Structure 1
Amino acid sequence: MSEDVHLRHLRYFVAVAEELHFTMAAERLFVSQPTLSRQIHQLEAQVGAALFARDRRSVVLTDAGQALLPTARELVRAWDAAMVRVREASAARLRVGMSTTLGRGLLRRVRAAYAEARPSAELVVRQVGWEDATAGLADRSADVAFLWLPLPRPAPYDWLLVAEEPRLLLLSSGHRFAGRDEVDFTELLDEPWLALPAASGGLREFWLATAQRGGQPVRVAAEITTTDETYEALVDGVGVCLAAAGNAPIFTRDGVVAVPVRGLPPSQLVLAWRRDDRRPVVRDFVEAARRAGDAQGA
């Protein structure tokens, strides 16, 4: 096998081999189907053999795929077990994932509360692109994550609500609605919108407010994957987007304004963690977030 084969390729291969369905395997891995297909093609190029025979109706393992599957499973299981041992050995280190820089001073308050419980603990904050709506929980690169509801396939996760806020409209300061005190969402149906990547699933739909559009399709002007991309697209007048009230100050600098919107349910920010992760370091961080939220409410 080529030394360039990554564990990710093997993990994706095992998922497709077990599901025998690319769409179902992509949902299981929290990636888009084109991304999954691309990774499988890369693996087949590296091993020099087709691993699946596929047509429009079925996917089956080739002889080469059947030969690779037991070893691929063993390697993935061995790596996951090793990561569990590493996490246990570094129990004082906690990785926190997030897709957006947190406004409202939330992270600072949680850090302070966590330091009281674990003064020697190390927090590693990871910024994760919006292509991964779990901010690292799904691939275990984060131990806890600040996420927006709805969560993708929430069954593997528990979560704590840390903020509930109205959604505001972000737009260029030159937009015709920029000077308004408030707009109704029905006034925005024909606007060009900035959208999260398709891989973010239900999260993309929530921030496009598709449930409140009465079936009218969205005019997607551009996809955005980072805070900086969003700001630049807003300043250039490419489109408009929604943001939680607590995060709006991240964007409302030169050239971008925020306007309240009528007719939308609020956004909900949660701290999420894997349900099977019962380590005290995770429990203490969740309790710190709870205390920080209680202090904010008071």
Structure 2
Amino acid sequence: MVMDARVRDLRYFVAVAEELHFTRAAERLYVSQPALSKQIRMLEGQAGAELFERGRREVRLTDAGAALLPHARRVIAEWDAARASVARVVADRARVFTLGMSTSPGRGGLLPAIRSRFTAARPDVRIRLRQVAWYDTTAGLADGACDAAFVWLPLPEPERFRWTVVAEEPCLVAMADGHPLAARETVDFADLLDEPFLAIPAEAGPLRDYWLATDARGGRPPRIAAEVASTEETYEALAAGLGVVLLAAGNARLVTLGGVVARPVRGLPPSRFALAWRTDDRNPLLRDCIRACREATRAS
């Protein structure tokens, strides 16, 4: 038997099989009796057999109809269960807003302030934080893994994203505490031109160039001593004296542990930390997150 029946047709069939009366089945299904009869005839055509014996006073299942009935019920039950599962996933996703980050947004309690304002507006929604490797400078925005993300500017493909700046911080240079420049209170960037630098991965694109201060080098290429893809790798490379690295003031505490110091750098613009989102995102929760972020930023 070759069949390509729709679930709706199977529902019609089961209703008639249980009522054994076309009019009552039509009333139960909220359809007209002629429409129901037409769909049953079409289902019989697909099944290649009559499913009901139609008499003047009664309707009975044929042997073919009796054979189909348990399968039809099972298909309907499976489909209802599948729809319920999908609905739960959609509902769960609607109640979760994912924030990406490759660097902790600490910065004077910014994240708790955003979370509290967002939760006040959306008490039924949970914020989920997602840590993303430095290879992805969009912190999960580009591939849709995150709804919004804390990022360092500039972003690759800036036309794909929008953002609001949450912090502007002076640039520091971190180095081993035995480095000749470590004794200075402030370092001129000109004195760093010949230093070996630690660089974030090449996949970071324009952000890699930014943290190497390529625009401030007057065409002189940077000396790359090593690539680092995490805070831990950066600290280990600094402590080992492999090179120096530029970083935002708010991140200095992450690497100035034993054997590493950070000094302000003259001659570089401040770094910009932002909350970013996809330009085409129409998620209503996004608007609440942006509003909470801007309010928290103004308050700080």
Q: After TM superposition, is the score higher than 0.5?
A: yes
The one-character-per-residue Cα deviations of 1:92-147 (angstroms, maximum 9, x if unpaired) are: 20111111122313222222222222233211111111111111111111110111
Match of 1:112 among 110, 116, 123: 116
2:131 maps to what in 1? Answer: 127
Match of 1:178 among 179, 182, 185: 182
1:99 maps to what in 2? Answer: 102
Match of 2:238 among 234, 237, 240: 234
The alpha-carbon distance between structure 1 residues 168 and 103, as it changes in their structure 2 partners (threshold 3 A), is farther
Give the counterpart letter for 1:207 in structure 2.
Answer: W
Secondary structure in 1 aligned to 2:183? coil
Q: Where do residues 1-298 of structure 1 align in structure 2 (5 Å cutoff)?
A: 90-104=93-107, 105-296=109-300
% identity of equivalent residues? 55
Secondary structure in 1 aligned to 2:181? coil
Which portions of structure 1, spanning 4 or more consecutive aligned residues, are displaced by more than 6 angstroms? none
The alpha-carbon distance between structure 1 residues 96 and 219, as it changes in their structure 2 partners (threshold 3 A), is same
Q: Determine if contact 1:103/1:249 at 8 Å carries over to the other structure.
A: no
Distance (Å, rounded) in 2 between the aligned partners of 1:237 and 1:102: 27
Secondary structure in 1 aligned to 2:276? strand
Give the counterpart letter for 2:100 in structure 1.
Answer: G
Distance (Å, rounded) in 2 between the aligned partners of 1:106 and 1:255: 29
Q: Determine if contact 1:168/1:244 at 8 Å carries over to the other structure.
A: yes
Any gaps of 5 or more consecutive residues in structure 1? 1-82
Aligned length: 213
Q: Determine if contact 1:103/1:247 at 8 Å carries over to the other structure.
A: no
Shift of 1:278: 1.8
Q: Determine if contact 1:161/1:271 at 8 Å carries over to the other structure.
A: yes
Any gaps of 5 or more consecutive residues in structure 2? 1-85
Deviates more, 1:233-242 or 1:118-127: 118-127
Distance (Å, rounded) in 2 between the aligned partners of 1:267 and 1:245: 9
Structure number with the higher helix fraction is 2
Distance (Å, rounded) in 1 between the aligned partners of 2:224 and 2:269: 21
Give the counterpart letter for 2:243 in structure 1.
Answer: G
Distance (Å, rounded) in 2 between the aligned partners of 1:282 and 1:188: 41
Distance (Å, rounded) in 1 between the aligned partners of 2:92 and 2:193: 52
Distance (Å, rounded) in 2 between the aligned partners of 1:253 and 1:102: 19
Secondary structure in 2 aligned to 1:265? coil
Shift of 1:87: 5.8
Deviates more, 1:121-130 or 1:110-119: 110-119
Shift of 1:90: 2.0
Larger CA Rg, structure 1 vs 2: 2
Secondary structure in 1 aligned to 2:293? helix
Distance (Å, rounded) in 2 between the aligned partners of 1:164 and 1:199: 24
